[in-house]
Structure 1
Amino acid sequence: MKKRWIPWWIANIFWFIIFAIGSAVIWLREVDGAGVTQTPELRLIAFVVLLIAFIFPLIIQVIWAIVNAVVRQ
């Protein structure tokens, strides 16, 4: 494995851990910060919002992977 892939893997692991923690918080909480009891529908909406928030880092990671694969050093 080339050295330029190491930061990419570290960044992927970081984003995966943050996403997993956020998902766990959404699915395991009974009441949100506003005091609203969480129903399955509200949890799904919150999870979709989390997914939308993680689209930007995903796009960056894909572009970074393509650059790493194309650039030859």
Structure 2
Amino acid sequence: MKKRWIFWWIGNIFWIIIFVVGASIIWLRKVDGAGVTQTPELKLVALIVLLIGFILPIIIQVIWLIVNLIISSNK
């Protein structure tokens, strides 16, 4: 494997771990930082906000994947 593919996989694993940890914290907490008791609806809203925050890294990873595929196919 080329270095760029290894770094791409490391980047993906990093973002997946960060997302899973954040989603777990949101879903398992009973009360948020403001002292509001978390209902399933509020947890879902918080997860959607977390997902929106991860859209930019996902776009960057997809662009990086496309670049890696183009470079690999030219060799």
For the aligned pair, the TM-score class normalised by the smaller chain equals over 0.9
RMSD, aligned CA: 0.9
Name whichever structure is richer in helix by fraction: 2
Residue 20 of structure 2: aligned partner: 20
Residue 31 of structure 2: aligned partner: 31
Matched, 1:9 2:9: yes
Structure 2: unaligned runs, 5 residues or longer = none
Q: TM-score, normalised by structure 1?
A: 0.96
**Distance in 1 of aligned mates of 2:42 and 2:28:** 12
**Which aligned runs of 4 or more in structure 1 are off by greater than 2 angstroms?**
none
Give the % identical residues: 70
Pairing of 1:31-50 with structure 2 (within 5 A): 31-50=31-50
**Distance in 2 of aligned mates of 1:61 and 1:15:** 10
Structure 1: unaligned runs, 5 residues or longer = none
